[in-house]
Each structure stands twice: as C-alpha cells, then as structure tokens.
C-alpha cells in the first residue's frame, strides 16, 4: 500500500525530485511563516523613501522600557513561529522525502528556519526605523512620567480634584493647548526684543538729557551776556543825551 501524506509525491521519487519538492514546500512554508511572524511588514508604506534616508542618517535612539518590551515580545513570537519549523514537523509533513532524502530535507528545513528568522527580523527593524517606533515609545514614556509626576505633586499639595479628561474639553481649550508651545516661543522672542528696545530707549533718553543740559547751559550764558548788555545801556543812558546835544550844537555852529 502506498504511503499517504499531505503533499502529493510520486510513486518512486529520486533524490533530485525529493529536493525539488522540498524546495517548493519551503517556499510555501516560508510565505506562511512570514505572514505569521513578520506580517507587520505590510504596514510599511511604499512612499517612505525620503523618510528612510533621513532615518538612516540620524542616530538610532536608545530603546526605553516599552520599546524593549516590544522587541522582546516580537522576538518571543518569532521564536515560537520558527520553532514550528522543527525537523519533526517538516519530516511529518513529508515522510517519504524524509525517509529517502533525509540529508536534503534537513538542509532545506534549516535554510527555511534561518531565512524566516533573518527576514522577519530585518523587516521588523525596518518598520521600527521607518515609523520611528522607538522614539515615539520613548516620548510616550516621557509623557506618562510627566503625568505621574504631576499627579504626585498634586497629591503632595493636597489637591483632591480629579483632572478633566481631554476628550471632554471644548474645542477652544484643545486649540489653545496645541498653540501654547508655539505662542510661548514667540512670546519669549517678543519679550527679548522688547528688552532690547527698552535698553536702546534708555540710551537715547540719556543722550537727550545730556543734549538738553548743554542747551540749558548755552541759554544761561546767553542770558548773562544779554544782562551785561542791558546794564551797559542803562549806564550810558545818562551820558548819551548830553553828548548827542553837544554834537548837534557843534554841527549847527559849523
């Protein structure tokens, strides 16, 4: 009675035929394994060429707690998938080839497991880089840490009021929260410009005061000179009349 097995096998396969059948099975199994262990690679968008280049130039961030946990879980899931491609499972799927071409099937099984693991790990690392997963998870950790710190500070200050859930806030408050960082940055720039303008105004005020003091000093000197002229005119007023009369009489006699 011919031996029954899941894939169709010829009545008298040779070593070459067994190798060809095993290679075909490897391709099918690899495609299925990739869908189970590295199916997340479908999330990488084809239009990420520019972003890929920028991410390659940047230094990779150090994984935090959540990023490390994600990598650990993926490694465990991939390891479980690869273990399904053990020699016992492959030989059970192809008993005739395992019996007649044991060495060829073992080599194919090892290549299948190795290629599956390498390709899945490569695709996973590419997705982490393209989507900036590690950096975003680190930002999430910072956000959670800030929230916990704010909660502890509120408890230490005796505040018992529960914070308002973000989804219940009005649109104006949400818009203001998003615009606050940009407006705060512009406010700092405007404050610096205002301080520089105030410093320049103070210098100009000092210059105006100096020039005003010089003008007042000149006016004081002119007033003193005018006073001297008026005093001289008063002193000569009594003499000018008789002298003028004598000059007129002398002119008549002549």
For residue 163, being part of any structural domain is answered with: no
Last residue of a domain, one of 158, 191, 218: 158
* Angle, in degrees to the nearest 10, between helices 102-130 and 65-83: 160
Query: With contact defined as beta carbons under 8 Å apart, do 77 and 37 qualify?
Result: yes
Model confidence at 47, pLDDT cuts 50, 70, 90, reads low
Q: In the chain, how many domains are there?
A: 2
pLDDT value of position 190: 95
Measuring CA to CA, how many Å separate 149 from each of 143, 144, 198? 10, 9, 39
Instruction: State pTM to two decimals.
Output: 0.45
For residue 51, being part of any structural domain is answered with: no
Query: With contact defined as beta carbons under 8 Å apart, do 38 and 112 qualify?
Result: no
Determine the Cα–Cα distance for residues 138 and 146; give it in Å rounded to an integer.
Answer: 12
Residue 56, pLDDT above cutoff 60: no
pLDDT tens-digit readout, 153-164: 888 888 777 778
For residue 211, being part of any structural domain is answered with: yes
Residue 5, pLDDT above cutoff 90: no
pLDDT value of position 186: 93
Residue 36, pLDDT above cutoff 50: no
pLDDT value of position 13: 37
Enclosing domain of residue 115? 61-158
- Does one domain contain both 177 and 154? no
75-87: b or e for each residue (b if 16 or more CB lie within 10 Å)?
eeebeebbeebee
Taking residues 83-112, report their average pLDDT: 91
Determine the Cα–Cα distance for residues 58 and 209; give it in Å rounded to an integer.
Answer: 57
- In the chain, % of residues over pLDDT 90: 48
- Does one domain contain both 205 and 138? no
- Does one domain contain both 201 and 119? no
Structure tokens, 99: 């019996």
- Does one domain contain both 154 and 210? no
- Does one domain contain both 184 and 142? no
Query: With contact defined as beta carbons under 8 Å apart, do 13 and 21 qualify?
Result: yes
For residue 250, being part of any structural domain is answered with: no
The rounded Cα 31 to chain-centroid distance in angstroms is 37
- Does one domain contain both 152 and 190? no
- Does one domain contain both 148 and 85? yes
pLDDT tens-digit readout, 153-194: 888 888 777 778 888 889 998 899 889 989 999 999 999 999
Query: With contact defined as beta carbons under 8 Å apart, do 34 and 119 qualify?
Result: yes
Last residue of a domain, one of 97, 124, 158: 158
pLDDT tens-digit readout, 230-251: 888 887 777 777 777 778 777 7
- Does one domain contain both 93 and 151? yes
For residue 92, being part of any structural domain is answered with: yes
For residue 18, being part of any structural domain is answered with: no
For residue 98, being part of any structural domain is answered with: yes
pLDDT value of position 54: 54
Last residue of a domain, one of 158, 191, 222: 158
Give one DSSP letter per residue of the chain, joined into a string.
-PPP-SS---SS--HHHHHHHHHHHHHHHHHHHHHHHSGGGGGS-TT-HHHHHHHHHSPPPPP-HHHHHHHHHHHHHHHHHHHTT-HHHHHHH-HHHHHH-HHHHHHHHHHHHHHHHHHHHHHHHHHHHHTTHHHHHHHHHHHHHHHHHHHHHHHHTT--PPPPPGGGS-HHHHHHHHHHHHHHHHHHHHHHHHHHHHHHHHHHHHHHHHHHHHHHHHHHHHHHHHHHHHHHHHHHHHHHHHHHHHHHHHHHH-
pLDDT, the chain, mean? 79
Determine the Cα–Cα distance for residues 220 and 230; give it in Å rounded to an integer.
Answer: 15
- Does one domain contain both 71 and 135? yes
Residue 4, pLDDT above cutoff 70: no
For residue 50, being part of any structural domain is answered with: no
- Does one domain contain both 146 and 181? no
């Amino acid at each position: 009675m011919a031996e029954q097995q899941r894939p169709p096998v010829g009545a008298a396969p040779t070593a070459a035929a067994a190798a060809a059948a095993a290679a075909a099975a490897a391709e099918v199994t690899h495609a299925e394994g990739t869908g189970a262990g590295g199916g997340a690679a479908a999330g990488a968008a084809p239009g990420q060429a520019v972003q890929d280049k920028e991410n390659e130039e940047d230094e990779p961030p150090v994984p935090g707690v959540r990023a490390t946990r994600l990598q650990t879980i993926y490694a465990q899931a991939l390891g479980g998938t690869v273990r399904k491609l053990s020699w016992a499972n492959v030989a059970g799927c192809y008993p005739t080839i395992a019996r007649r071409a044991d060495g060829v099937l073992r080599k194919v099984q090892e290549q299948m497991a190795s290629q599956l693991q390498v390709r899945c790990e490569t695709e996973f690392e590419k997705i982490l880089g393209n989507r900036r997963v590690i950096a975003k998870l680190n930002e999430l950790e910072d956000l959670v840490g800030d929230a916990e710190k704010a909660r502890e500070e509120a408890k230490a200050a005796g505040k018992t009021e529960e914070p308002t859930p973000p989804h219940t806030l009005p649109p104006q408050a949400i818009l203001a929260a998003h615009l606050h960082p940009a407006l705060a940055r512009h406010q700092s720039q405007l404050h610096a410009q205002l301080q520089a303008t105030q410093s320049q105004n103070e210098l100009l005020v000092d210059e105006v005061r100096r020039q005003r003091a010089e003008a007042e000093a000149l006016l004081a000197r002119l007033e003193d000179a005018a006073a001297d002229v008026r005093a001289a005119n008063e002193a000569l007023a009594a003499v000018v009349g008789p002298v003028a009369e004598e000059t007129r009489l002398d002119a008549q006699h002549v």
